[in-house]
Structure 1
């Protein structure tokens, strides 16, 4: 619906895209009453939840899997039906462009990701992409033309559950990795990113980073309990906390579970138990912001009647400051020799990825805050506890994020849930933010 927006009597067609709506509202027109269609957004969320649906009501849509290919096809078709020109880069990221009045301006971009965890939910990342699609549809129906073009993005492999590191496509866009480095990454089965892209037909021709972006806004569920606990609808995200990922190996000695006395054992799994407890103790010492997680543990040759001689594990450390990230890493490393010596183990810990804390752009943050205020939505400033594609983009273009609550703060879980009104409110804030940025005077 167009609300009270001023419109002109004739429609125009932009480039090769479809005509938007039945009238044209120019960039300077009043669009503050424009809203998305909340029911349609919710229906779209439910529709895409069919791709990779699990019996428990969640999603298993690993990046570049056949299910990911299905939702990518759906997204491409939906974007083209909305008159958007869709392109794909060499890492499979999808870009859907809506022209603006000034084609020389870099587009205002928004979106997130459509891949999920193995036992993921229906909203993590997905809301940001589908809300962006809904914003495009609503602008079409209202006949609104923005000054700068608009760009909806579906980033490849945000989750990092199949290929590490997470957020690899946006990191390559930002220049943190080369395209060839990412294409060569392999999953647990030895399948490379390049081969997986080819398998689903999404290795595009466009070079990574070729698409200019003037600003980027990402809508996402909070993935934490703060908004729900405080009764707030919108989180105005000021930045993302730092993240460090580690791979660890503990080497002991495999021996018979029945005939090896307890004092003579070199049990790698017990060594991991002590490491995990040390990690917990160290993170708690840096409360209230620090978190650290041993998220994966694999026994090298598991057997019921064998003392584990080899264990591989992962460690995830996060905090809003680089100083605390460094301190936690140093304290964990200091704890390892004592555990290794006492249990007669060899322990190796390798940092495989580190993302410094990311401040978002004040102008984009202000646009989000003003949009929420103008819509009369309860809001608060906050820092993202999770990593997002926006955190990578922030190093290259002005960026900010919008959060909406999720039930009990649960995410990366099949029970992940958000309400229809909150999703619609977040999409409305996204729409108003994008309008502000796209129609701002040229710098």
Structure 2
């Protein structure tokens, strides 16, 4: 028998509620804390960068937990790790749920890791409640979401969805000179005997649980963010080329000071990017100087731009203006502007968004619809299959920070909503893909 929930017109199945009620808060939290011991650093954070020794240890621990419950681990050639719980129809495309295990060098315990542990808890809750889904449900760990050791990030999901060939990145090196291909081989060799999966296999739906990485849910005392979209992103590198000279002898009027011209460009960009609605996100994230000497005029200044907006027309107009603004700001130097990354604005399909919201309503959990300011692996899965996300609040909105924190209660609530959503998505026959907004 189906259940009507309070005064809502939405209906969820008994199986969805039963699975959500089987989520074990203490079990999930214990595993999150065990995982946080791998790569632990002072302050409570972790340094567990992609394809590192610590990353391999975390993967091995997950596989041990999976095998202990009779789930089926596997891996693809780029190291994306899967854990399968079969459904009534083993040939049906699976529902994927998960995130990543790698971190920033001074990262928190929950970014990515929460989504993976939530996925494992859903598999266990399904087994504990004896709920059989029509579709198999598979946990997934995407390789190198953070991109802190090997750039760019989200490599695993990009390779899986066919956006990029893995060959493009095999020669990328980390700061120590280790190639991605070498680190990947060591990671695959660390879990011998796992079945290999192809890239891009059919997927019924993808749903990713994640910490919000922002302050809205906590400020509004809500436990669930029903993610409607992911704003678009454009990354640029600006290189200002001048000429080095002696700081004590060269008159200012004769200098080709790359830093000073770069500062003029940055100031002009700040003025142009000003947004009274505070929706646009414009960040100068990195600045590199050469020769970077106390008593030398800078010969080169390179800085990065991270530009984000949910409206593709705004993202296009603002991004396209960057090169001209930088050229106009030059006084004595030359400038080169290179775009490194462009991700379109993604609107998740209403069927997925509604399934998450219906599950939150059914469980009587405070929630709100909201966009994602950060991009995630779901940005790329959305081009391959119907996709969505669930946010849980994090303290003060902090992320990519050792102080990153969530509560055991919110972690469990998020997983309950994830579990109910997955059961409901398994009942759905036709799901529409995301809308990619690129105009």
Same fold (TM over 0.5): yes
Corresponding pairs, count: 416
Measured in 2, the distance between the counterparts of 1:260 and 1:166 equals 43
8 Å Cα contact 1:286/1:324 also seen in 2 = no
Measured in 2, the distance between the counterparts of 1:28 and 1:240 equals 29
Aligned match of 1:21: none
With over 3 angstroms needed to count, the CA separation of the structure-2 counterparts of 1:148 and 1:28, relative to structure 1, is farther
From 413, 418, 422, give the equivalent of 2:410.
422
Greater displacement, 278-287 / 149-158: 278-287
Shift of 1:207: 5.7
Aligned match of 1:66: 53
Aligned match of 1:290: 280
> Structure 1 unaligned runs (5+)?
5-26
Shift of 1:336: 0.8
From 170, 190, 194, give the equivalent of 2:181.
194
The answer to whether structure 1 residue 403 and structure 2 residue 388 are counterparts is no
Aligned match of 1:110: 97
Aligned match of 1:216: 206
The answer to whether structure 1 residue 137 and structure 2 residue 149 are counterparts is no
Matches within 5 A, 1:67-106: 67-106=54-93
8 Å Cα contact 1:110/1:217 also seen in 2 = yes
8 Å Cα contact 1:92/1:197 also seen in 2 = yes
With over 3 angstroms needed to count, the CA separation of the structure-2 counterparts of 1:354 and 1:336, relative to structure 1, is same
Shift of 1:28: 7.6
Matches within 5 A, 1:352-367: 352-367=340-355
Greater displacement, 91-100 / 28-37: 28-37
Aligned match of 1:11: none
The answer to whether structure 1 residue 305 and structure 2 residue 290 are counterparts is no
Shift of 1:85: 1.0
8 Å Cα contact 1:282/1:332 also seen in 2 = no
Shift of 1:118: 1.2
Alpha carbon RMSD of aligned pairs, Å? 2.1
8 Å Cα contact 1:279/1:293 also seen in 2 = no
What is the SS of the residue equivalent to 1:51?
A: coil
> Structure 2 unaligned runs (5+)?
4-11, 432-439
Measured in 2, the distance between the counterparts of 1:313 and 1:188 equals 19
Q: Could you list the per-position Cα deviations for residues 198-218 of structure 1 after superposition, in whole angstroms to 9, with x for gaps in the alignment?
A: 233369884652433110000
Shift of 1:138: 1.8
Shift of 1:244: 0.8
What is the SS of the residue equivalent to 1:325?
A: helix
8 Å Cα contact 2:235/2:339 also seen in 1 = yes
Aligned match of 2:339: 351
Matches within 5 A, 1:149-298: 149-201=136-188, 206=196, 208-285=198-275, 287-298=277-288
Aligned match of 1:435: 423
